[in-house]
Structure 1
Amino acid sequence: MTADRVEALIREISAFSPAGARVYDAFRAVPRHLFIPPVGLADARDDSTRVIDRDADPQDWMAAVYSDTVVVTQLDDGATDLRAAAGDYTSSASAPSTVADLLHWLAVEPGHRVLEIGTGTGWTAALLSHLAGQDGAVTSIEVDQAVAEQAGKSLAAAGIAPRLVVGDGAHGHQEGAPYDRVHVTCGVRHVPYAWIAQARPGGVIVLPFRPGSGADHALRLTVTPDATAHGRFPGFASYMLMRSQRKLRPRAARRPEDKHWSATLVDPRTVAYAPAGAGLAISAATGLASVYAHDQDEDGPLCRLWLSDPADPYSWGTVEWRPGENEYEVYQVGDRPLWDDVVDAYFRWVSWGEPGPERFGMTVTADGQRIWLDTPEHAI
């Protein structure tokens, strides 16, 4: 029965994933259900989430485990019971298709030494161990002690023995370096240089990149002999942010003079619904983050684009769209003209011919990261 479910899942995701036979052989060798806890949260048919409980409804639990969906395994860093089904998602088992894509781009070969950032349930550490072909080839780091302990139990029960470390994955793990591959299972806005420094020349790093504006992307970097990494965005991957990189929440203005109101002719939906390439360009040019939300108040429905500067929690703003209006209200806190910066970056992207994400890339050095268009010489 389990084998049939695995094969059905492979048939489903192989229709659109670039992953090949070695990745799917790993799926067969390391069944996902061995790493999913008894209680979790999965997608419901009405686009909400539902509680899956192995003891209460084992058929529903197994169906969720072998569907191409995320299973949330922790809320609010463990402070909220999963059965509450409400809170911030802070750990999960990633969707199998996304796992397959990242493993395909990582291209682990037998004998490779692999560093994994974010153990989670332990399933990807097990898949990596199978692909690398030997125990101890994989070092996996998890920041959450309770999550790490449960992953260790699941891996031991499956007879798989990667090296497990509890700590902040942003620092890597120097003891096992140099690594041939670095596999990252949490969203990253700033690529920690430790991963490049601990990879050998020719080493590959695959990570979910969250630029702050627009879509989230997979990023594949290759390390060069001068300890620099270059790469491109081969697809999409959306993961929870690494804990040490979580955005600060916008705060209220401290003084009346910090508040600024204005109006714009630019529909905020032009930015909010822009193609993925625009999000990369805006994030690279401004460093700002944005969130678009539908809302309603006493005046009726509205859509609100929130802007924030992760480097300054007192710098934030909103742009509101309401039906029938010709101008849109801009409210900003702080001295930086956030909306003007975003609009300028958007129309720069338009002037370049509206390039898609496949034309962008990133270079990471000890001094930081920069996104470029077409070649590293054309940094944004």
Structure 2
Amino acid sequence: MIFRTGELFAGPGGGAYAAMTSQLVDEQGEKWGFTHAWANEYDPDTVETYKLNILNDPNATSVYCKDVRKFDLHDRAILGDIDALIFGFPCNDYSLVGEKKGLDGDFGPLYKFGVEALREFQPSVFIAENVGGLSSANEGEAFIQIVRELQATGYTLTPNFYKFEQYGVPQARHRIIIVGIRNDLAENGVEFRVPAPTTPEIEQYVTSSQAILNPPIPEDAFNHELTRHNPRTVTMLSYIPEGGNAWVENIPNEFRLNVKGARLSNIYKRLNRNAPSYTVTGSGGGGTHMYHWTDNRALTNRERARLQTFPDHYHFQGGKESVRKQIGMAIPPEGIRHIMMAILRTFAGIEYESVEPTIKLQPAILLKEKGEVVANLVRN
């Protein structure tokens, strides 16, 4: 079976690239995989990136460049039926960095369009993705509300807190991903299980230097332009050791930043070449571009794309800052691919190694487990 797949908040195609590269053949010779049906994304540059790399067609009409609030999810004559839905609803208001408005922000309520799409299309399976801070937004009530609304559309849910460095991604990127199986299928034995980590131990993690250096990136590679730093920034970086940030003790006073309360931040933070990188983000502003472990410079967009596990032939469209934002906001294909392959194996009836989910759908209270907030929810 090939799952016709729709996407909301599609970004530059991290989920779509994982989908198109997730395939298997079962013992009866049946092929399993995903195929693009339609996608929606509001940013024009990001839409062009998706069209070029996922569909190899800059004129593709199945990718809609619209604010999701103006996207007609009920136009079945155009959109047709889908078997799978992917939606990485905007994380801005749930991130642990920022104002943390949760459901009260401009972006927080947008998950409802994923709920609306599930009601309209009733696909066999869906994948919803957001930041780990979702579990604590609005004192945990946001996550509880979102899960209940997803369940109410007729799905059995398996939420899990994934640490992508444990799935071959050279980056400490932690995300809550909810996989939903339509209830009639779940009642007939289709049970999704959390795939076991492929690189569970620290010594198995793919490091930032392995990702960036192996193989070397050609100097003329696409999206590989260097940042033109001012001399003061270059000098300041020269005092920051590998893994350090702008608040290390040996920076002379004249080069220190006049910012309070940020000593543990990633501002002007260098990578540690022997560990996965810290989280690649799409945020702007000085000092947030990620910095090489020894060279006195920010990473190029191609280096950042490698940390996000996009292949070098994936050409992001738009200006340098637009590309940086696209890369930072994307789902890393290598991380989400393991989940998509587990979905295929689930439907094909193929066994795979799994682990217990870290988020349990039980009484509605908040617990702290190993320093992380985990919401235990009521199953409707």
Find the structure with the greater CA-based Rg. Answer: 1
TM class by shorter-chain length?
Answer: under 0.3
TM value normalised by structure 1: 0.27
Q: Which has the higher strand share?
A: 1
TM value normalised by structure 2: 0.27
- Structure number with greater CO (CA < 8 Å, separation at least 6) is 2
